[in-house]
Every structure is written in structure tokens, then in C-alpha cells.
């Protein structure tokens, strides 16, 4: 969220002045900073460096290896012209404190001499290192003057920030120096002393100073321990997340919602409409849900189940219970395609039962939107399917009794809370296929009760997965041909680094053209990507679902939730660019019926590690196992869906890497809520303020999203 307001709180624990308050920041710079979402001094303080440049030389001279092309930073001890027989050589003695290197120029002009007369600071020197008579030498090196490095700004370690268009890195660093110098002293500590001592955390001011201008070179490797400054800031972020989760659970416990009764008659009629009988796991989860719905306290339940296990039907049944009690049920899906798919799939149930179903997404025509919002407000619509559009301010419900959030990992905690706040304490059901390691589930879903669907519908065979070299593309085409002949459908997926990247779209487009012209001229196919207009996407998805299109060449827009049971082949190009969990999600688009299905991962050569990683896809169809293997092999990296997809609103922490810190933060938050639930103690004043500010932000989100 970059739309943080600077004028929302009076006294605060952090400097909320606009960036113009910083010495040296005029209107022009301020504009450039704001364009990057850096509006307040606080924004700058929490815009942490991506890394650091070690301008002490990176590698000390004593560690440099002769024969290598090296680059180091050193100061000039002396420079002179030396006469060697008939030849003049210019020699400069350089040192970084750990060793001495002599730079030699055998040809040079006056400019070189003048340059060394001017040099006052350190130099970056690059060239091939040699040994001559036991001494290190470097001939005709490249030299560059380094920024003036002083003790105060970290003794030669300078922060490297994400680039800001129009602002030179050097300028930004100067601004940050000023910010740290003038504003960090105003920062008020948020964590009580007892917590800081117990968890051995730096104070907030020192942490901020250290993160921006460290005195020691922080390790860059992911597996390395974090610097104590960063750890402190991460702890803080997780502590407030946990407070939010714990408090919202407690708020919920105090809320009275709408107890629902089961109308057996109605459910009997629903049962007759189902084309299959529920699996044991689905039945168990339905019982858990029915029990929740009967309570005065609103339900707040998460259904976790691997791709294809049949969560949608559980959602529908839950919605129908609520609707038969005279309430509205809203389903929020992360993408338009998915919302539309739910709409189409649920229609055959809604119509015969006399349930009024509407769709609301931001891409609808404004007339359609108006019709939908009216029906929602009047209570005429009882089953509402939509996207983020549902949490917009102007959408009001008549009698909202249930909120269902599909593919929870695509939404943040705040969005979930926002929809809940749309109506007097509705029941909440969230559904996810994201395989979050069990050890983490508690801490990130701490405010939810969890149900697990651990069984696939009968007749499913695991998807046969193969990692294939592009040289054997012909085999892939043969398999596709075989399946097309059987009347089945297929996907070919290309990775997209960013939806806006034209070159990636070219891949999709040119691949489709190639396939259509050269390989499958008789097969109806289409492309699908995120930059297409909503209507066009819908048309293509509908045509695919109706089997009018047999091959879909797409980007990852189809990753989440798409359900076309007749599709049996999933081809993924450049699988190395995906996380395993994401590959598992994509693979989950096939194998959704009793037809034997395939997932083919086409690469153009892989390193050993990547090969091993992808081999897991060949061996396992279990989302949990895949996520855990991913972790084990890659080390703490990003679990797709946990972080990348904005699963919760974290800027600094990585839930996997920082699992220990998360546990500690949760413990601290629980203790605090037990000791001082209303946060009335003076020592907790700063916490109270920050929470207040977070809730203002949430309100802001409700207004603007």
C-alpha cells in the first residue's frame, strides 16, 4: 500500500512528516520520491536497502588472488614517476589496510599525473593482479574515484536502494543520511523493554541506523543469519501481524452473528442436483461447517485442500444453507476468470432452487455493474460472485450472512477483514490450495479454524509428470496429437516475469502461430494472457470450457482454480522459472476427471540443482510434500503463494526464512494480550498507536480498493 496517509495521526511513534521536511528535498525531488510511493519520512525509513556495496574494497587486498581480474578499493599512499633504464614508468602505491598493490603505467600522459595530484579520496581499482618479485602489481588498471566515504556513514559500506527514476543513487543516499541523522532520534520505541530484552532485540533507533548504514558488512546469503537490525524490524512487523490476528480472533469471539438452521428439505433438493456424491473428506468438512453455522459466534474457518479435491462444492453447499435461512452469501475470487467460472458452474444449482445469482467484477460494463450492485443492495440477489470489486465502498449488502474467499493466498489479511466488515458479523469461509507447511499454518492462519480435505474424488489417477528436453519436443507433440484425437484438451503455459513484458507475450503469440501453422493446423486453439480485455478472456475461457477450443496457449493467468475436467495435458515451458508449488498448481489444471493426464515440463538444459528440484514433480503429486521438498532443496526461499502472491501484507519478513522470529513474535503478542488486553499500560502506548494507525490504513483500503 503506497497510499499511506501522512496526516492521520497526531502524536506518533514514527516521523510522519512529508518528505519535503527533509533538508535538501525540494519540490522536484519530493515529486520523484512520491511517484515511487515514498510520501513520508517513515516511508523512507522503511524503504530498506536491497543490499550494500562494500566500498572498503569488497574483497580485502590480502584475500585477492594473483592471476584474477580483481576490483578493490584503496587509498593512494604515493605516486611518482620512476626511471627504468631508458623508460619512464608511473607508479602508484595503493593500500586498503590489509595489503599493498603497486599500480604501474608504462604509457601515460600528463593527465594521469594530474589526476593523481587531485585525488583526495579512495579509488576503485580494477585489473589483472600480478606478482613481481614477491610484490603485488597491477598494470594499466581502470581507476574510478569512489564516493567520499566517511566513518559516520558506515565506514565504507554504502546501502544500495531500489532505483528511483530521476534520483541518482548518490542523491538518494545523501537523503537517507539526512533522514537517519535528523529523524531517527524522533522515532519512539514500540516494543516494551521486557520484550526486547527477552528476545534480545535491538532498540528501534539502532536497528534503523544499522539497517541503512551498517558498520559491518551484512551477509547477503539467504541462509546466513540476518543482521540484528533487520531481525529487529522483521520481529516488529511479525509482532504486529500476530497482534492483528490474535485480536481479530478475540473480537470475533465476542461478536454475535446469525445462527443458521439446517433446512433438511431444502438440502435434500440440493442433494438431488449434485452429479456425484461427496467424498468422505467433503462430508466431514460439511459437518464441521454446519456445526459452526449453528453457533451464535460467527464461523471463521479455513478449508485447506490440494488442487482438485473439490472445495467449490463445499462452498456452494455452505452458501445454500445460509441462503435458505434468508441471508445473502458472497463469494470473492482472486481473478475475473475464476469468478466467472464459479458463476457459470453454480448457475445450474441456483436456478432450479430459485436462488438469484449475480456476478460483480470491475471489468463488467457499467450498466451490468449497476444492475448487480442494485440487486445486492436490495437483497434481491442472494448468491453473489465477484472479485475485489465486492469490497468497494459503494457495494452494500442487504443481509450478508456468509463471506467465502476462494484461493485465500491471493488476498491479504486486510482484504479478508474488509469483506467481513461489509455486513453485521457474517460467517466467513476461506479456501486455499496453497500448501503451507503445517508448522506455519497456525501462525499465519492463527485467527481461523482449519478443516482439511485430504482426499481426492474417486477415479482420479495421479498426473504423469515428465521433465523433457526441448530437443524431444516432437514427443510432446505426438502426445498432444494422441489426446486431441481422443477429444481431450490441453494447455501450454509460458512464464511471465511481468504481465507487461512484451517479449513474453511474443512468446505466447508466436508459439501459437507456429503450432497452428506447422503442427496442428486442424486443432482449434487460442491464446490467453493477462493483458487481454476481460470480455475477451471470458469468451476464450468459455469456448475452452465448452470444448470449442482444444489447445490453450497461455501465461500463468490460468494458474488459479481453472476447472476444465476434459483437459488432460499440461505443457509448461521454462519450468525452471517457476517455484515447485506453482508448478503443482498449474499441474492441478489437469487430472480433474477419470481421464489419464500428463504434465510435461520442457526445458532447454538444466543445472543439477534445478534438475533435482524438478524431479520432485515427477515423483510426487502431493502438494504438502512438494512444498516441503521445495524448502529442503532450495533452502528458505519464497514459497509461492505465501509471499510472492501477497498472501499476507508483509514487506520485510519471509515466513519461511524467518520462521523462528515468527514464533517468537507470536509468543510475545500472546503474552502481551494476556497481560494487558486493552493496552492501557503506558509502556504499551506506542503499540496502541501503531495498531490504531493500522486500522486507519485498513479503513483507507476499504475506501480506495
Eight-class DSSP state of 72: E
Indicate the residue among 164 and 562 with the shorter CB distance to ligand ADP: 562
Q: Which of 141, 426, 457, 623 binds ligand ADP (CB under 6 A)?
A: 457
To ligand ADP, the closest distance from the beta carbon of 496 in angstroms equals 22
Indicate the residue among 154 and 308 with the shorter CB distance to ligand ADP: 308
Q: Does 684 bind ligand ADP (CB under 6 A)?
A: no
Q: Which of 307, 323, 375, 614 binds ligand ADP (CB under 6 A)?
A: 307
Q: Does 211 bind ligand ADP (CB under 6 A)?
A: no
What Å distances lie between residue 286 and 196, 262, 339, 353, 355, CA to CA? 44, 12, 22, 20, 20
Candidate ranges 98-106, 513-521, 559-567, 691-699; the one touching ligand ADP (CB under 6 A):
559-567
In angstroms, the CA 629 to CA 166 distance is: 43
Cα angle value 627/633/635 (rounded, 5°) = 90
The three cell numbers of residue 465 are: 509428470
Q: Does 273 bind ligand ADP (CB under 6 A)?
A: no
List the interface residues with Mg ion, window 434-493 (CB under 5 A).
Answer: none
User: Residue 524 contacts by C-beta under 8 Å, 6 or more apart in sequence?
Assistant: 548, 549, 550, 551
In angstroms, the CA 171 to CA 485 distance is: 63
Q: Does 298 bind Mg ion (CB under 5 A)?
A: no
Q: Give the CA count within 13 Å in the CB-facing half-sphere of 526.
A: 18
Q: Does 561 bind Mg ion (CB under 5 A)?
A: yes
Kind and range of the H or E element at 224? none
Q: Which of 49, 192, 298, 308 binds ligand ADP (CB under 6 A)?
A: 308
Please choose which of Mg ion, ligand ADP, none residue 305 contacts, taking the beta carbon within 5 to 8 angstroms, the exact cut-off set by kind. Answer: ligand ADP
To Mg ion, the closest distance from the beta carbon of 604 in angstroms equals 32
Indicate the residue among 229 and 308 with the shorter CB distance to Mg ion: 308
In angstroms, the CA 619 to CA 617 distance is: 5
In angstroms, the CA 19 to CA 25 distance is: 7
Candidate ranges 28-36, 152-160, 493-501, 560-568; the one touching ligand ADP (CB under 6 A):
560-568
Give the distance from CA 90 to its chain's centroid: 54
Residues 563-592 as x/- pattern, contact with ligand ADP by CB under 6 A: x-x--------------------------x
Q: Does 588 bind Mg ion (CB under 5 A)?
A: no
In angstroms, the CA 659 to CA 437 distance is: 11
Indicate the residue among 36 and 340 with the shorter CB distance to ligand ADP: 340
Within a 10 A sphere around the Cβ of 705, how many other Cβ atoms?
A: 15
Indicate the residue among 453 and 702 with the shorter CB distance to Mg ion: 453
Within a 10 A sphere around the Cβ of 328, how many other Cβ atoms?
A: 25
Indicate the residue among 257 and 623 with the shorter CB distance to ligand ADP: 623
The three cell numbers of residue 73 are: 578499493
Cα-atom radius of gyration of the chain, to the nearest Å?
A: 30
Q: Which of 218, 310, 334, 412 binds ligand ADP (CB under 6 A)?
A: 310
Residue pair 80/91 in contact by the 8 Å Cβ criterion: yes
In 393-460, DSSP assigns E strands to: 400-405, 427-432, 449-453
The three cell numbers of residue 94 are: 595503493
Kind and range of the H or E element at 171? helix 169-183
Q: Does 623 bind Mg ion (CB under 5 A)?
A: no
List the interface residues with ligand ADP, window 585-644 (CB under 6 A).
Answer: 592
CB < 8 Å & 24+ apart, contacts of 25-31: 25/175, 29/167, 29/171, 29/175
What Å distances lie between residue 208 and 9, 158, 493, 535, CA to CA? 22, 14, 43, 48
Residue pair 476/600 in contact by the 8 Å Cβ criterion: yes
b/e per residue 405-440 (b: at least 16 CB within 10 A): bbbbbbbbbbbbbbbbbbbebbbbbbbbbbbbbeeb
In angstroms, the CA 646 to CA 62 distance is: 44
Residue nearest to ligand ADP (CB): 310
Please choose which of ligand ADP, Mg ion, none residue 279 contacts, taking the beta carbon within 5 to 8 angstroms, the exact cut-off set by kind. Answer: ligand ADP
Q: Does 435 bind ligand ADP (CB under 6 A)?
A: no
Q: Does 423 bind Mg ion (CB under 5 A)?
A: no
Of 488, 558, 565, nearest to 523 by C-alpha is 488
Residue nearest to Mg ion (CB): 561
Give the distance from CA 666 to its chain's centroid: 21
Residue pair 395/381 in contact by the 8 Å Cβ criterion: no
Q: What is the 3-state secondary structure (H, E, C) of 328-353?
A: EEEEECCCHHHHHHHHHHHHHHHHHH
Please choose which of Mg ion, ligand ADP, none residue 141 contacts, taking the beta carbon within 5 to 8 angstroms, the exact cut-off set by kind. Answer: none
Eight-class DSSP state of 657: T
Q: Does 641 bind Mg ion (CB under 5 A)?
A: no
Candidate ranges 231-239, 385-393, 556-564, 675-683; the one touching Mg ion (CB under 5 A):
556-564
Q: Does 430 bind ligand ADP (CB under 6 A)?
A: no
Indicate the residue among 169 and 565 with the shorter CB distance to ligand ADP: 565
Please choose which of Mg ion, ligand ADP, none residue 663 contacts, taking the beta carbon within 5 to 8 angstroms, the exact cut-off set by kind. Answer: none
Please choose which of Mg ion, ligand ADP, none residue 313 contacts, taking the beta carbon within 5 to 8 angstroms, the exact cut-off set by kind. Answer: ligand ADP
Q: Does 559 bind ligand ADP (CB under 6 A)?
A: no
Indicate the residue among 195 and 403 with the shorter CB distance to Mg ion: 403
Please choose which of ligand ADP, Mg ion, none residue 278 contacts, taking the beta carbon within 5 to 8 angstroms, the exact cut-off set by kind. Answer: ligand ADP
To ligand ADP, the closest distance from the beta carbon of 302 in angstroms equals 13
Give the distance from CA 31 to its chain's centroid: 27
Q: Which of 44, 45, 252, 313 binds ligand ADP (CB under 6 A)?
A: 313
Give the distance from CA 655 to its chain's centroid: 11
Residues 142-181 as x/- pattern, contact with Mg ion by CB under 5 A: ----------------------------------------
The three cell numbers of residue 529 are: 494472457
Indicate the residue among 202 and 319 with the shorter CB distance to Mg ion: 319
Q: Does 575 bind Mg ion (CB under 5 A)?
A: no
Of 260, 383, 375, 395, nearest to 312 by C-alpha is 383
Please, what's the largest Cα pairwise distance for the chain?
Answer: 110
Size of the site for Mg ion (CB under 5 A): 1
Q: Does 214 bind Mg ion (CB under 5 A)?
A: no
Give the three-state DSSP class for 605.
coil
Indicate the residue among 352 and 677 with the shorter CB distance to ligand ADP: 352
Q: Does 334 bind Mg ion (CB under 5 A)?
A: no
Q: Does 56 bind ligand ADP (CB under 6 A)?
A: no
Size of the site for ligand ADP (CB under 6 A): 18
Candidate ranges 199-207, 310-318, 324-332, 382-390; the one touching ligand ADP (CB under 6 A):
310-318
Of 256, 244, 180, nearest to 213 by C-alpha is 180
Indicate the residue among 53 and 383 with the shorter CB distance to ligand ADP: 383
Please choose which of Mg ion, ligand ADP, none residue 307 contacts, taking the beta carbon within 5 to 8 angstroms, the exact cut-off set by kind. Answer: ligand ADP
To Mg ion, the closest distance from the beta carbon of 406 in angstroms equals 6
Q: Does 276 bind ligand ADP (CB under 6 A)?
A: yes
Residues forming contacts to ligand ADP in the complex (CB under 6 A) are: 276, 278-279, 282, 305, 307-313, 433, 457, 561, 563, 565, 592
Which residues lie near Mg ion (CB under 5 A)? 561
Amino acid at each position: 500500500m503506497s497510499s499511506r496517509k501522512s496526516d492521520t495521526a497526531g502524536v506518533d511513534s514514527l516521523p510522519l512528516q512529508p518528505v519535503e521536511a527533509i533538508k535538501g528535498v525540494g519540490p522536484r525531488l519530493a515529486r520523484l520520491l512520491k511517484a515511487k510511493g515514498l510520501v513520508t519520512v517513515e516511508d523512507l525509513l522503511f524503504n530498506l536497502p536491497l543490499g550494500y556495496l562494500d566500498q572498503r574494497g569488497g574483497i580485502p587486498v590480502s584475500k585477492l588472488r594473483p592471476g584474477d581480474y580483481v576490483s578493490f578499493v584503496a587509498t593512494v599512499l604515493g605516486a611518482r614517476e620512476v626511471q627504468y633504464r631508458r623508460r619512464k614508468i608511473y607508479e602508484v602505491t595503493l593500500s586498503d589496510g590489509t595489503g599493498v598493490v603497486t599500480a604501474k603505467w608504462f604509457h601515460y600522459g600528463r593527465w594521469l599525473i594530474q589526476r593523481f595530484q587531485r585525488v583526495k579520496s579512495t579509488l576503485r581499482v580494477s585489473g589483472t593482479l600480478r606478482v613481481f618479485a614477491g610484490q603485488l602489481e597491477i598494470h594499466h588498471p581502470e581507476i574510478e574515484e569512489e564516493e567520499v566515504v566517511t566513518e559516520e556513514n558506515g565506514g565504507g559500506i554504502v546501502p544500495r536502494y531500489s532505483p528511483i527514476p530521476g534520483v541518482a543513487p548518490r542523491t538518494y543516499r545523501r537523503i537517507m543520511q539526512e533522514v537517519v541523522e535528523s529523524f531517527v532520534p524522533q522515532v519512539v520505541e514500540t516494543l516494551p523493554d521486557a520484550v526486547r530484552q527477552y528476545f534480545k532485540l535491538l532498540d528501534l533507533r539502532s536497528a534503523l541506523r544499522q539497517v541503512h548504514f551498517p558498520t559491518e558488512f551484512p551477509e547477503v546469503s539467504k541462509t546466513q543469519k540476518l543482521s540484528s537490525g533487520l531481525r529487529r524490524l522483521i520481529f516488529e512487523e511479525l509482532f504486529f501481524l500476530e497482534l492483528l490476528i490474535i485480536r481479530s480472533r478475540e473480537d470475533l469471539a465476542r461478536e454475535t452473528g446469525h445462527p443458521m438452521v439446517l433446512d433438511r428439505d431444502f438440502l435434500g433438493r440440493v442433494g438431488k442436483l449434485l452429479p456425484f456424491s461427496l467424498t468422505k473428506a467433503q462430508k466431514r468438512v460439511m459437518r464441521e461447517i454446519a456445526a459452526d453455522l449453528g453457533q451464535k459466534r460467527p464461523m471463521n474457518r479455513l478449508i485447506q485442500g490440494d488442487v482438485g479435491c473439490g472445495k467449490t462444492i463445499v462452498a456452494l453447499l455452505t452458501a445454500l444453507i445460509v441462503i435458505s435461512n434468508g441471508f445473502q452469501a458472497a463469494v470473492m475470487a482472486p481473478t475475473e476468470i475464476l469468478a466467472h467460472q464459479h458463476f457459470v458452474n453454480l448457475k445450474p444449482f441456483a436456478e432450479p432452487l430459485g436462488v438469484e445469482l449475480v456476478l460483480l467484477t470491475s471489468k463488467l460494463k457499467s450498466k451490468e455493474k449497476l444492475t448487480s450492485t442494485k440487486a445486492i443492495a436490495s437483497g434481491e440477489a442472494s448468491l453473489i460472485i465477484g472479485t475485489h470489486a465486492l469490497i468497494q465502498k459503494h457495494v452494500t449488502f442487504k443481509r450478508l450472512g456468509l463471506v467465502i474467499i476462494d484461493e485465500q493466498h491471493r488476498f491479504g489479511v486486510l482484504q479478508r477483514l474488509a469483506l467481513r466488515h461489509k455486513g453485521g458479523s457474517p460467517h466467513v469461509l476461506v479456501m486455499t490450495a496453497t500448501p503451507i507447511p503445517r508448522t506455519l499454518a497456525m501462525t499465519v492462519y492463527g485467527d481461523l479454524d482449519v478443516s482439511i480435505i485430504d482426499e481426492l474424488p474417486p477415479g482420479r489417477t495421479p498426473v504423469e509428470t515428465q521433465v523433457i528436453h526441448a530437443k524431444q519436443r516432437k514427443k510432446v507433440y505426438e502426445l498432444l496429437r494422441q489426446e486431441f484425437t481422443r477429444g481431450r484438451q490441453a494447455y501450454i503455459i509460458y512464464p511471465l516475469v511481468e504481465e507487461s513484458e512484451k517479449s513474453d507475450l511474443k512468446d505466447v503469440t508466436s508459439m501459437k502461430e507456429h503450432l497452428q501453422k506447422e503442427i496442428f493446423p486442424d486443432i482449434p486453439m487460442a491464446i490467453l494472457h493477462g493483458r487481454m480485455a476481460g470480455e475477451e478472456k471470458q469468451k476464450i475461457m468459455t469456448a475452452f470450457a465448452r470444448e470449442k477450443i482444444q489447445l490453450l496457449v497461455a501465461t500463468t493467468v490460468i494458474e488459479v482454480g481453472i476447472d476444465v475436467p476434459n483437459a488432460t495435458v499440461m505443457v509448461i515451458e521454462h519450468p525452471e522459472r517457476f517455484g515447485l508449488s506453482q508448478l503443482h498448481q498449474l499441474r492441478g489444471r489437469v487430472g480433474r476427471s477419470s481421464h489419464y493426464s500428463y504434465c510435461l515440463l520442457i526445458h532447454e538444459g538444466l543445472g543439477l540443482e534445478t534438475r533435482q528440484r524438478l524431479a520432485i514433480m515427477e515423483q510426487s503429486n502431493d502438494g504438502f510434500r512438494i512444498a516441503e521438498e521445495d524448502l529442503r532443496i532450495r533452502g528458505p526461499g519464497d514459497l509461492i503463494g505465501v509471499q510472492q502472491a501477497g498472501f499476507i501484507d508483509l514487506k520485510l519478513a519471509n515466513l519461511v526464512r524467518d520462521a523462528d522470529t515468527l514464533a517468537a513474535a507470536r509468543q510475545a503478542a500472546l503474552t502481551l494480550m494476556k497481560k494487558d488486553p486493552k493496552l492501557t499500560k503506558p509502556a504499551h502506548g506506542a503499540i496502541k498507536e501503531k495498531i490504531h494507525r493500522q486500522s486507519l490504513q485498513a479503513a483507507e483500503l476499504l475506501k480506495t480498493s
